[in-house]
Amino acid sequence: MKARYTYRIYPNPLQQSKLARVFGCVRVVYNDALAVVKATPVVWPSNNELQKLVITQAKKTKAREWLTQVSNIPLQQSVADLGVAFKNWFAALKGNGKARFPRFKSRCGKQSARFRKGGFSLKGNKLFLAKMGGFKVRWSRELPKTPSSVTIVKNTAGQYHASFVVEIEPKSVEPIRESIGIDLGIKTFAFPSVGGPINAPSYSRLDRKIRRASKRMARQQKGSKRRKATRMKIAKLHLRIRNTRKDFLHKTSTKLICENQTVSLENLNVSGMVKNRKLARAISQQGWREFRTMLESKAAGHINRTVNVINRWEPTSQVCSDCGFKWGKLDLSVRSILCVSCGAKHHRDENAAKNIEIVGAGYVHDSKRTRRARKTTTVAMPVETSSHEVAHQLSLFA
């Protein structure tokens, strides 16, 4: 399987100007190719035909003769990336994925250029790119094999990274447990069926800094140096939040995959949940979908690992994980439950995680077994003295 290894690079001022020229040429070639496709009504041109139109023939014109100043390899990869974008869009039309129709690239925001073999090389501790010389790289870890391609990325905070694609072999790690279920939440990021809750880092301090800086930028004159500096500061704060979240998700997903043979979690309707304006920001900051993607990719990188995503309609919070008794929907304020059938006391999230693990193993809750003729009423029981967690017994009798 293929994996990405990303490292920070430090181009000098001359190399930064050369990279800016490459980013601009790559963006123009991509946009020109997309414009040709959109202007073609019936049969769209192939990848080779597009390369001839927007690269080979364009270099001979006065309007695009400056394309000769950069390497031809990233320009060809730009057209190939457009082909991949259209392929993903066609797959989404058939129900596979959610890719949109390709859009024109902007000069603002993140910039990137991809080099395949022949356009880059590694010599010593430096990365050499075609027509740009050697770049200083901060090697945080060793590359397991020779990379097949590298993508140079400049983020909105002005930092440069080199992302290498490497072919790796699946790892063999002996699991501690056979399976585990994970209930994802907002206040608590994840509650596994075994072990205690997993809490995400707090971003409130950085959020306050972003809010203050955004108010200050709104009062500054457009186009001024102060506004540009404030915008860069906001971009760096957003980058810190992103890096903190990704570090937490990487470490958590790696630990779960290494210790468990099977990991089960719910297929949450995140796009529908963020429509709640009171919870949208908190849900977006959790990174549930990114966490699921990391689990699936790391399971593929380990031998004998599986990630099960169960149906979102499974009543995991409405069923006793010990006896299977169904008590129905509960208010979100109810955190502790006392089962009227078997007498077991459950924490709401831990009970849901255990049910997710059971369903992930192939069990389906029996609708006849869990159906009740009478409506359930929740009655508070004096079994919990804490003001933050109240235990409820679910009775069959009104």
Which positions are annotated as active-site residues?
183, 266, 349
Looking up tokens 């309707």 gives 269
Beta bridge partners of 306: 262
Beta bridge partners of 159: none
DSSP string, 292-343: HHHHHHHHHTBTT-EEEEE-TTS-TTSB-TTT--B-----TT--EEE-TTT-
Question: Quick one: tokens of 212?
Answer: 């203050």
Question: Quick one: tokens of 256?
Answer: 């779960």
Q: Which helix (H) or strand (E) element contains residue 5? A: strand 2-10
Beta bridge partners of 163: 6, 151
Distance of CA 280 to the CA centre of its chain: 17
Query: Which one-letter amino acid corresponds to residue 114?
Result: R
What strand order describes the sheet that includes 111-116?
Answer: 111-116, 149-154, 160-167, 2-10, 133-138, 126-129, 120-123
- Beta carbons of 246 and 226 less than 8 angstroms apart: no
Distance of alpha carbon 201 from alpha carbon 147, whole angstroms: 34
The burial class, CB within 10 Å (0-12 / 13-18 / 19+), for 288 is: buried
Distance of alpha carbon 249 from alpha carbon 283, whole angstroms: 15
Contacts of 14 (CB under 8 A, 6+ apart): none
Looking up tokens 């129900």 gives 95
User: Among 168, 79, 88, 162, which residue's Cα sits nearest to residue 127?
Assistant: 162
